[in-house]
Amino acid sequence: MKSVSMFVSAAALLAAIGAPAYAQFSTALDTSQQTANEGKTSQQRIDQLDDQTAALLNDYRANLKQLEAARRYNESLERNIQGQQRAIDRVKVDIENVAGLQRAVTPLMEDMLARLGDIVEADVPFSIDERRERVTRLTEVMSDPDVTVAQRYRLIVEAYQIENEYGRTIGEYSGSIDDGGEQRAGEFLRVGRLALIFKTGDDSVLKIWDNAQRAWVDLPKSYLPDVRLGLRMAKEQTAPALLPVPVKAPTKAAQ
C-alpha cells in the first residue's frame, strides 16, 4: 500500500513539472550524448593524426639518413673522378714523352739492326742462312706500320740475345760447303764462336773455318775423335766434357 502511494506521488510530481520542462530535460540529455559522441570522434581523429605525425617523423629521419649517405657517396665519387682525372693527365704526359722517345729510339733501332747485319756477315758463318733471314725479317718489320715501336725494339733485342747465346753454347747441324768448287755434304760442329768445324759422313774430309782468310782450311785428322765427341755432346748423346778446340793465339790489336 506504501509503494502504491510512492508511485502516485512520482506521477503527481511529473504532472506538476509539466510537458515543457520534460522536453527541455530530454533535449539536454540528447545534447550531452551528442557532445560525448563528438568528443570520442575528436579523440579518434587526434589519435589518427598522432599516428600519422609519428610515421611522417620516422620517414623524415629515414630520408635524412639516406640524404647523408648519398652526400658521402657523391663525395667519394668526386674524389674518384679527381683521381681518375689526375691519372688521365699523367697518361697524356706519358704519351707525349713516348712520342718523343719513339723519335729518339727509331734511329737507334735502325743502327742496332745495321750493326746486327754487320755482325752476322763478319762472324763465323755458322747457320748463316738462318741468321741472314732473321735480319731480313727484322728489316721488313721496321717498315711495317702495324708493328709498334715497342714490338720492333723487343724483336731486335731478342735477335741480339740469340746471337749472344751462340757464344755460350755448342751446336750441330747438317749442310754443305764449297770445297774448291766442289760441294761436299756433311755435319757442322759449332763450339761457341771459337770454332766451326766441318766433317763428311765418311770422315774423309775434316775442315775448320778460318775467319781471317774467310775460307775453309784442312784440320788435322788427329782432332777427329774430339770432333766426334763434340757432335755427340751437341746432340745430347753424351754428357758434357772438356773438348779440345784448335784456335789461333790472340794477336795485338792495331793502334
- pLDDT per residue over 91-121, tens digit each? 777 667 766 777 778 899 999 999 999 999 9
State the DSSP string of 24-55: HHHHHHHHHHHHHHHHHHHHHHHHHHHHHHHH
User: Does residue 179 sit within a domain?
Assistant: yes
Q: Which of 166, 189, 213 is the last residue of a domain?
A: 166
Same domain, 125 and 174: no
Same domain, 129 and 159: yes
Tracing cell 579518434 back to the chain, one arrives at: 44
User: Does residue 193 sit within a domain?
Assistant: yes
Same domain, 174 and 219: yes
User: Does residue 13 sit within a domain?
Assistant: no
Q: CA separation (Å) from 62 to 11, 55, 187?
A: 69, 11, 89
User: Does residue 215 sit within a domain?
Assistant: yes
Please give the tally of structural domains in the chain. 2
Query: What range does the domain containing 220 cover?
Result: 170-234
User: Does residue 230 sit within a domain?
Assistant: yes
Percentage above 70 pLDDT, the chain: 86
Identify the pLDDT of residue 34: 82
User: Does residue 196 sit within a domain?
Assistant: yes
Identify the pLDDT of residue 99: 67
User: Does residue 44 sit within a domain?
Assistant: no
* Cell of residue 133, nine digits: 733471314
